[in-house]
Structure 1
Amino acid sequence: MRVVVLGAGIIGAACARELALAGCAVTVVDRGRPAAGTTAHGEGNVLVSDKGPGPELELAKLSRELWPAVLDGDPDAAGVEWDAKGGIVVATTAAGARALTEFAGGQRKAGVAAEDLDAAALAAAEPHLTRDFTKAVHYPEDAQVQPAGAATALLAAAVRAGAVVRTGCEVLGAVRRGGRVTGVRTSGGTIGGDAFVNAAGPWSGRVAMRLGARLGVRPRRGEVLVSAPMPPTVFHKVYDADYVGAVGSGAGELQASAVVESTRAGTILLGSSRRRAGFDDRIRPEVLSVIAAKALRLFPSLAGVPVMRAYGGFRPFVADHLPVIGADPHLDGLWHATGHEGAGIGLSTGTAAVLRDLMLGRAPAIDATPFRADRPAAQSEGEAP
């Protein structure tokens, strides 16, 4: 089967790898450079801690299980910077403690390791963290990767398995025969195939529309602050309990919470924000100010630390907060792997495995029905072309 993957971010790269290893003749198409869009503007989270019981958590658990296996023996694994450092969620109010207690209890029932920390244990785990907290939970399964490095490694594995990568090819339209797509017209020429995977992230709605389909994926903006390199200061991914609410909100206005973690280079990433701003890519100082203030509540000692840079990116948002994985309901030959919002890095390996099985007529390791492309949220109006 000839498969054309539209998008060379981490979702497209993971799908290309799985399909190429399964024996498909894979071509990856991107209008820019690999991993240069949403993937390059994330934090590299591989999380189970922020997902309540349900289909997204099942996909996260599958992905977390697959990540080490995917990297095992990969010659490019060093660039991925896999770090199974775990996460700590902290509540600083009585209401936050109650919500976190209930949330963690539900996760435990769903098979997630979630360990309560008392004051002494929290101080030992994160000596620079505020002592003014009401509840703390440790999630040992949380991990982190370097996003662009991870996507590049997955794409390189796909190429070793026979995939071809074509950059500078923007999707312009579809070539159809009857009700089936048999090719895509791009700025670099027409590319034929038997199946086409829409993995264009926040631009998936536009790509679907250009191909003659409908997909309810819209951009949601997020920003991150990056400190100058520091001595070891933050040892886990640490975030306040408000983060889960911000992730789950569909509101267009700014949603922000404290998310603090270090990188192997010694920098500290401070997030996070979510807001509906279309494709407006301007950095908003007022958003950065909110992020910094919330981070300082968790780590007051960061007050004098210089900020090296700030960056922002678009995440593929679907109204029901579930990815879209599966066949398009109206256009034969078109498949979707998108809509992961800020969780695409972590969910990429599981998404690719599920999509591969669906495309090859196999039963996936988890129930893929909740991610189907014909559900109402996935069929709402997407972005204009």
Structure 2
Amino acid sequence: MSTALRVVVVGAGIVGAAVARVLARAGCEVTVVDRGATAGGTSAGGEGNLLVSDKEPGPELRLAQRSLAAWARIGDELRDELPAGFPGLELERKGGLVVATTGAGARNLLAFADTQRAAGVRAETVDGGRAQELEPDLTPHHTTAVYYPEDLQVQPVAATEALLAAARRHGARVRQGVEVTGPVLSSGRLAGVRAGSTTLPADAVVLAAGPWSGLVAERLGVVLPVRPRRGTVLVTSRMPARIRHKVYDADYVGAVGSGSADLQVSSVVESTAAGTVLIGSSRERRGFDERIEARVLAALAAKALLLFPFLADVQAMRAYGGFRPFVPDHLPVIGADPRLPGLWHATGHEGAGIGLSLATADLLRDQLLGTAGGDLDPLAAEFRPDRPTLLPHLEGSTP
């Protein structure tokens, strides 16, 4: 296909921003629309983690490894694409430390790390002394720990705005406060979108609306099983830096992979450049319920104290919540929708969208433009909308 395609990207979070940038760089006429502000949804509510430590061997881990390689390059690329003095990404190579506090947790963690090492992940089992060197305030009552030096962190809003700014420099238009209300169809093909009384013609529409993707897809005439999964983060007051890495308990991987709608809480603790400590992580499917609840905050705090007892004396400053785009088989949806030609998806990353955004954009660009192997890339098939594990959810229900 010609790179002079007109493309509408629905969603101005980090995935939509990454897609807009690579397509604009390839010569496409790109328009990004969002019903709210840029980086105003899931991207603003995340912690900015770029992780391999929480992913079991399989397609998502391979996508994460590609994305980490892209994140290693993006700083230099953006320095060439953006004007001097543009704010940086706050990319930190802080590494992750996964801690087990029970015998069963230790066995599961060590087995999990073994499978990851076989898939090319650097996972270093550390003894008690080494764990205390990495995190001096870590509880001594842990049974084992695994260090992941490849884990990174980025400021997600800064990264999103930088990618959008780069897309603009390559000719993309970004329109805030524009809500997609329906499709523009031509001979059975999606030929654009309606936004109120406005029509935006397009050769391709890329749906990158995060947890709202299911709702937008329904307006365009297809079922897409992307649903919101709520998360809450507790934020402490500022303090001298005492937590050096992203530290979480071994239960975190199980909570991420759970399909339950019930509340899942595991301990994830990390410092920010501003001096606060972020305490997560919760997962719960309750639609777009935005309430911050004491029961969730209490569970987060209790879990965090198991890892860092000193936090008992630290003041909590605020809490915030957000929605992750949940998909039943726990894999992103990337690629062309076979039911509606002209519709493409880049969504469903749940809590990994920040980390997976750059590789997602590359994968979608190669398929949409038929470049660099495109559909011949074996990884592309793993995220197709009509993959076997997702196919039963595409019909018979609405998001």
Please give the TM-score of this superposition, normalised by the length of structure 1.
0.97
SS in 2 for 1:368: helix
Among residues 181, 197, 213, which one is paired with 1:172 in the alignment? 181
Q: Which residue of 2 aligns with 1:374?
A: 386
Letter of the aligned partner of 2:336 in structure 1? A
Q: Which residue of 2 aligns with 1:279?
A: 288
Equivalent residues in 2 for 1:70-219, closer than 5 Å? 70-75=74-79, 78-187=87-196, 189-219=198-228
Whether contact under 8 Å (1:198, 1:336) holds in the other structure is: yes
Distance across 1 between alignment mates of 2:63 and 2:289: 30
Distance across 2 between alignment mates of 1:49 and 1:234: 18
Equivalent residues in 2 for 1:1-20, closer than 5 Å? 1-20=5-24
Distance across 1 between alignment mates of 2:321 and 2:389: 25
Among residues 53, 57, 61, which one is paired with 1:57 in the alignment? 61
- Structure 1 residue runs of 4+, over 3 Å off? 75-79, 376-379, 381-385
Whether contact under 8 Å (1:59, 1:366) holds in the other structure is: no
SS in 1 for 2:318: strand
SS in 2 for 1:27: strand
Letter of the aligned partner of 1:236 in structure 2? H
Distance across 2 between alignment mates of 1:87 and 1:118: 15
Return 78-87 or 333-342, whichever deviates more.
78-87
Return 371-380 or 88-97, whichever deviates more.
371-380
Distance across 2 between alignment mates of 1:153 and 1:306: 33
Instruction: State the shift of 1:377 in Å.
Output: 5.0
Q: Deviations over 1:107-131 (max 9, x none)?
A: 0000000001111111111001101
Q: Which residue of 1 aligns with 2:48?
A: 44
Structure 2 vs 1, CA of residues 366 and 35 (structure 1 numbering), >3 Å: closer, same or farther?
A: farther
Instruction: State the shift of 1:34 in Å.
Output: 0.3
Whether contact under 8 Å (1:217, 1:378) holds in the other structure is: no
SS in 1 for 2:317: strand
Whether contact under 8 Å (2:223, 2:398) holds in the other structure is: no
Query: Do structure 1's residue 320 and structure 2's residue 329 form an aligned pair?
Result: yes
Distance across 2 between alignment mates of 1:328 and 1:19: 18
Instruction: State the shift of 1:167 in Å.
Output: 1.1
Whether contact under 8 Å (2:88, 2:158) holds in the other structure is: yes
Distance across 2 between alignment mates of 1:341 and 1:376: 19
Instruction: State the shift of 1:269 in Å.
Output: 0.4
Instruction: State the shift of 1:333 in Å.
Output: 0.4
Structure 1 unaligned spans of 5+: none
Instruction: State the shift of 1:68 in Å.
Output: 2.0
Whether contact under 8 Å (1:170, 1:188) holds in the other structure is: no
Instruction: State the shift of 1:188 in Å.
Output: 6.1
Instruction: State the shift of 1:300 in Å.
Output: 0.2
Whether contact under 8 Å (2:224, 2:398) holds in the other structure is: no
Whether contact under 8 Å (1:18, 1:158) holds in the other structure is: yes
Letter of the aligned partner of 2:385 in structure 1? A
Equivalent residues in 2 for 1:191-270, closer than 5 Å? 191-270=200-279
Whether contact under 8 Å (1:58, 1:366) holds in the other structure is: no
Whether contact under 8 Å (1:53, 1:107) holds in the other structure is: yes
Letter of the aligned partner of 2:213 in structure 1? S
Structure 2 vs 1, CA of residues 212 and 126 (structure 1 numbering), >3 Å: closer, same or farther?
A: same
Instruction: State the shift of 1:74 in Å.
Output: 2.1
Distance across 2 between alignment mates of 1:286 and 1:107: 34
Instruction: State the shift of 1:214 in Å.
Output: 1.5
Distance across 2 between alignment mates of 1:330 and 1:264: 45
Whether contact under 8 Å (2:225, 2:398) holds in the other structure is: no
Distance across 2 between alignment mates of 1:161 and 1:258: 41
Distance across 2 between alignment mates of 1:378 and 1:12: 22
Structure 2 vs 1, CA of residues 325 and 303 (structure 1 numbering), >3 Å: closer, same or farther?
A: same
Structure 2 unaligned spans of 5+: none
Q: How many residues align?
A: 385
Query: Do structure 1's residue 304 and structure 2's residue 316 form an aligned pair?
Result: no
Structure 2 vs 1, CA of residues 62 and 248 (structure 1 numbering), >3 Å: closer, same or farther?
A: same
SS in 2 for 1:251: coil
Please give the TM-score of this superposition, normalised by the length of structure 2.
0.94
Instruction: State the shift of 1:375 in Å.
Output: 2.5
Whether contact under 8 Å (2:128, 2:144) holds in the other structure is: no
Letter of the aligned partner of 2:23 in structure 1? L
RMSD, aligned α-carbons = 1.4
Distance across 1 between alignment mates of 2:306 and 2:133: 19
Letter of the aligned partner of 1:374 in structure 2? D
Structure 2 vs 1, CA of residues 266 and 366 (structure 1 numbering), >3 Å: closer, same or farther?
A: farther
Query: Do structure 1's residue 31 and structure 2's residue 43 form an aligned pair?
Result: no
SS in 2 for 1:372: coil
SS in 2 for 1:166: strand
Instruction: State the shift of 1:276 in Å.
Output: 0.6
Q: Deviations over 1:116-166 (max 9, x none)?
A: 111111111100110111110000000001111111111111111110001
Distance across 2 between alignment mates of 1:210 and 1:168: 17
